[in-house]
């Protein structure tokens, strides 16, 4: 089974960006932890990071099409797009890929505008506030749901 892990805007800055909120691990380090965890479970991972809404949508479409970028399921941290991108929501819903939304920080303890997700209703579930561990838990869950 293959899972696509999408990191949205500004997540390429992890490690340097507000470490008190997002932790001191870089995106590369987090991807390393995900990779290590998934290989023990015999799950392949494709990683994708973009700061651009349309590029994220195109990648989701490719994950649902025949070809080398096809995936069985999706873990997505949509970054700030979480709070307003109906287009990413439609891409997840339109492809029908089983998805889990992950956030490093605890959105329920942050500004009110971060407490709304337009993406969560089209996901199987949502993990928020557990740092990098959220990605590992999402992979375990999708391994069972979509494996
Ligand atoms: C985030 C939370 C979002 O509100 C924010 O815009 C991010 C990161 C998180 O992982 O905690 O970029 O998705």
- Residue pair 89/119 in contact (Cβ under 8 Å)? The answer is yes
Q: What is the CATH number of the domain that holds 74?
A: 3.40.50.9100
Residue 82 C-alpha to ligand 1 middle, in angstroms? 8
Tally of domains within the chain: 1
- Residue pair 48/79 in contact (Cβ under 8 Å)? The answer is no
Query: Residue 30's pLDDT is what?
Result: 98
* Catalytic residue numbers, as ranges: 22, 103
Q: Provide the 3-class DSSP secondary structure of residue 116.
A: coil
The parent domain of residue 52 ranges over: 2-145
Query: Residue 4's pLDDT is what?
Result: 98
Split the chain (147 residues) into runs of 10 and give each run's mean pLDDT: 98 96 97 98 97 98 97 98 98 98 98 98 98 98 93
Query: Residue 68's pLDDT is what?
Result: 95
Query: Residue 95's pLDDT is what?
Result: 98
> Residue holding tokens 């920080």?
105
Residue 67 C-alpha to ligand 1 middle, in angstroms? 31
Query: Residue 147's pLDDT is what?
Result: 80
CA-to-CA distance for 11 and 24, rounded, in angstroms? 12
Residue 66 C-alpha to ligand 1 middle, in angstroms? 31
Name all residues whose Cβ lies below 6 A of ligand 1. Answer: 10, 77, 79-80, 82, 103-105, 107, 114
CA-to-CA distance for 108 and 64, rounded, in angstroms? 31
Checking 121-125 for CB contacts under 8 A at 24+ apart, the result is 121/89, 122/89, 122/92, 122/93, 123/76, 123/92, 123/99, 124/98, 124/99, 124/100, 125/100, 125/101
């Amino acid at each position: 089974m293959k899972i696509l892990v999408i990191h949205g805007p500004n997540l390429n800055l992890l490690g340097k960006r507000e470490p008190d909120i997002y932790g001191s691990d870089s995106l590369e380090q987090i991807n390393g932890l995900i990779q290590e965890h998934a290989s023990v479970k015999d799950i392949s991972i494709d990683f994708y990071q973009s700061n651009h809404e349309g590029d994220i949508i195109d990648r989701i479409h490719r994950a649902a099409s025949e070809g080398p970028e096809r995936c069985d399921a999706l873990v997505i941290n949509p970054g700030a797009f979480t709070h307003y991108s109906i287009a990413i929501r439609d891409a997840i819903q339109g492809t029908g890929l089983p998805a889990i939304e992950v956030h490093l920080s605890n959105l329920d303890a942050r500004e009110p505008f971060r407490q709304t997700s337009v993406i969560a209703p089209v996901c199987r579930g949502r993990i928020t506030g557990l740092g990098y561990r959220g990605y590992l838990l999402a992979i375990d869950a999708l391994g069972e749901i979509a494996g």
